[in-house]
């Protein structure tokens, strides 16, 4: 292999490695911005309540959640943007995002920059999808938004 080819191969490999590792480095950095990560819920919902929460936040079919990575989040986000849809197609991703947003309201300092705030929301959404079960997410949404599920008629 010639010197130029070896140099080109090294540069290409390094560039690909940087592209692959950068989202994970950002994930590691921004997850540290969250003082306290969500914990599994102690509340157990009935089947009817589970479906009610699932459907209220845009879920279709049976409640489920796909564990996301920084790469899969980007894939689903750009796919959602290209379809001009409001929800990601990854099951449970919208529910995890709403829970992340609710959790962040108490966790992030007021002095955070907007870009940091958005990055922490993305990272926390990914963390929730990887570390909590869909039942935990649904029961926490049920607890955090009781006004959506009370019958005041």
Do the domain assignments include residue 153?
A: no
Question: Across the 153 residues of the chain, what is the mean pLDDT of every consecutive 10-residue run?
Answer: 89 92 90 87 93 92 92 79 68 91 72 74 93 96 89 57
Number of domains forming the structure of the chain: 1
Residue 102 lies in domain: 3-148
The per-residue pLDDT for 88 is 64
| pLDDT at site 58 | 87
Query: Which pLDDT does position 152 carry in this prediction?
Result: 57
Nearest to 134 by CA among 103, 101, 104, 90: 90
Residue 134 lies in a domain: yes
């Amino acid at each position: 292999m010639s010197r130029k080819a070896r140099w080109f191969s090294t540069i290409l490999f390094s560039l690909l490695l940087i592209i692959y590792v950068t989202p994970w480095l950002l994930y590691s950095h921004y997850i540290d911005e969250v003082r306290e990560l969500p914990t599994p819920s102690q509340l157990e919902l009935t089947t009817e309540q589970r479906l009610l929460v699932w459907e209220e936040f845009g879920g279709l079919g049976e409640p489920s959640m796909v564990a996301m990575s920084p790469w899969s989040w980007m894939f689903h986000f750009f796919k959602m943007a290209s379809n001009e849809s409001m929800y990601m197609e990854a099951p449970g991703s919208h529910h995890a995002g709403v829970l992340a947003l609710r959790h962040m309201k108490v966790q992030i300092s007021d002095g955070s920059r907007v870009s940091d705030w958005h990055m922490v929301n993305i990272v926390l959404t990914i963390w929730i999808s990887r570390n909590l079960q869909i039942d935990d997410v649904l029961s926490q949404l049920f607890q955090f938004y009781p006004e959506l599920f009370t019958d005041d008629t």
